[in-house]
Amino acid sequence: MRAGVLVIDQGTTSTRAIVFDVGGAPVADARQDIPQIFPRPGWVEHDPESLWSSAVSTAREALRRAGCEPSALAAVGIANQRETALIWDRATGKPICNAIVWQDRRTAEACSALKASGCEPQVTAVTGLLLDPYFSATKIAWALDAAPGARAAAERGELAFGTVDSFLLWRLTNGALHATDATNASRTMLYDIRKGEWDDDMLRLFNVPASILPEVRDTAAEFGVSASEHLGAAVPIRALIGDQQSALIGQACVAPGMVKATYGTGGFLLLNTGETPTPSGNRLLTTVAYQWRGLRAYALEGSIFSAGATVQWLRDGLNIIAKAAEAGELAAASDRAQSVYCVPAFAGLGAPHWNSEARALLSGITRGTTRNEIARAALESVGYQTRDLVEAMRSDWGGAIDVIRADGGMAASDWTMQFLADILAVPVDRPKGLESTAQGAAFAAGWQAGLYPGPESFAEKRRKDRLFTPLMDGATRERLYRGWQEAVRRAL
């Protein structure tokens, strides 16, 4: 094939590599699961070597399946799970400990102590984030204190920190470049999203030495060249981007007021707010959406901790389904007269509640409740949590939300997408390709390489699969949502 783009999409549960052609269409892909490590309750880790090896092996396999010589590639783009923290030795490239995953809650007490000291308003004003273990800063401090000699080594400039994008970039370039992009930097709780630089006050607050931080560049930029032994040729790396912001681009939500929702392990809604960051009065996050040619665009973000993970629980925890697709079939066969609710607070509740102490519950169960109603409640929980976020976004943004562009694994379920449209009273637009995350990184890297026109043209490449329009009457919608709100109060 002619010169195209290779995207490495390193996610929480798997790594994918996708080859895109000169027109921006996917040609071939490869996927590898990532082992999840749970050393203690609430702790979630990844072996950094599994992140690296899976990135290289899937990239090589995707190129083989595409029949693409590595030397023909115009660019590599990397999309990555955000907030996950890695620290490694600059001389050897060896990590000082396992990667601490975004879901990890080990620093909850540290965050609570900082909140009690009154620091959160300052943190939010500078970074757009809330004091929560979700973000990288307290993970970094924990690792530097837990690994023997690490803090002293960091002070000597011997260690490097990065989110997954930085780690993969370091390895691909054989240590030639220690960098990240503005979207990933904005998730560390150390970055001033208005000034576009690391913030000294945040570094002091979280006890993180500046010497370990990567250089911050545009989302689409020159990030060095991969060493030929990794991909089979020296290929320019031309985009780094956090996975949720990448999905925003892949869904062509590049104008203010556009919203995308990605449903993977968790669920993430981003509302493009343009060149001015919008503070939230409803505990949403203000974050960098992307940065082109030194100009930043911002987004309001709401995070659902458990979306696809709730369906995995039905399969692996309760054993009431054998595969994810069965959940929609059971939900469609359920008794609608039974008001069963599932609040999937397995690791607390995300926005707008941000309560790490909440725990999951099923409510409304009667003797007549079957696995059908439980499956329906699990799928409906995604719609209800999305409505919580949409209500908060409308309040903060002050404008209408006309459509939601949905992607991710759960978007394949017609039943779930129809309920989403019904409970939101907003049309849900599903694209033909659900891999919007990889598509966004491909757009950015291909644009930087000169293959594709600029961001204003991304919408021309997006293809709609189906528009789900609301069918539920208003009285039913509000009755169901009130029941959800009551269930959440119980979980809290």
Q: What domains appear along the chain, each with residue ranges and CATH number?
A: 5-243 (3.30.420.40)
pLDDT at 13: 85
Closest by CA position to 443, among listed 64, 3, 14, 23? 23
Average pLDDT, the chain: 92
Residue with tokens 């459509």, as numbered in its chain: 403
- Judging by beta carbons within 10 Å of its beta carbon (0-12, 13-18, 19+), is residue 479 exposed, middle or buried? exposed
Instruction: Determine which of 50-64, 158-172, 191-205, 254-268 has the lowest per-residue pLDDT on average.
Output: 254-268
pTM of the model: 0.89
% of residues, the chain, pLDDT over 90: 72
Nearest in space to 226 (alpha carbons), one of 218, 217, 236:
236
Summarize pLDDT for 130-163 with one digit per residue, the tens.
Answer: 998 889 999 999 999 999 999 999 999 999 999 9
pLDDT digits (tens, 9 = 90+) for 409-449: 889 889 999 999 999 999 999 988 767 889 999 999 999 99
pLDDT digits (tens, 9 = 90+) for 86-96: 999 999 999 99
| Three-state SS letters, 205-238 | HHCCCHHHCCEEECCECCCCECCHHHHCCCCEEE
328 class by beta-carbon count within 10 Å (0-12 exposed, 13-18 middle, 19+ buried): buried
Whether 457 shows a pLDDT value over 80: the answer reads no
| Non-local CB neighbours of 473 within 8 Å, separated by 6+ positions | none
The predicted pLDDT at position 309 comes to 86
Q: And the tokens for 38? A: 């749970």
Q: State the pLDDT at residue 479.
A: 94
The DSSP output letter for 48 is H
Residue 340 contacts residue 369 (beta carbons within 8 Å) = yes
Please say if the pLDDT value at position 2 is more than 70: no
pLDDT digit string, tens, across residues 461-484: 777 789 999 999 999 999 999 999
pLDDT digits (tens, 9 = 90+) for 433-443: 767 889 999 99
Q: How would you classify the pairing of strands 45-46 and 99-100?
A: antiparallel
Q: In this predicted structure, what is the pLDDT of residue 492?
A: 85
d(CA 107, CA 43): 9
User: Is the pLDDT assigned to residue 353 strictly greater than 80?
Assistant: yes
Question: Is pLDDT of 296 > 60?
Answer: yes
What is the DSSP code string of 163-194?
A: -HHHHHHHHHTTTS--EEEHHHHTTTT-EETT
pLDDT in tens, 231-276: 999 999 999 999 999 999 999 998 899 999 999 888 999 999 999 8
Mean pLDDT, residues 391-399: 89
- Check pLDDT > 60 for residue 1: no
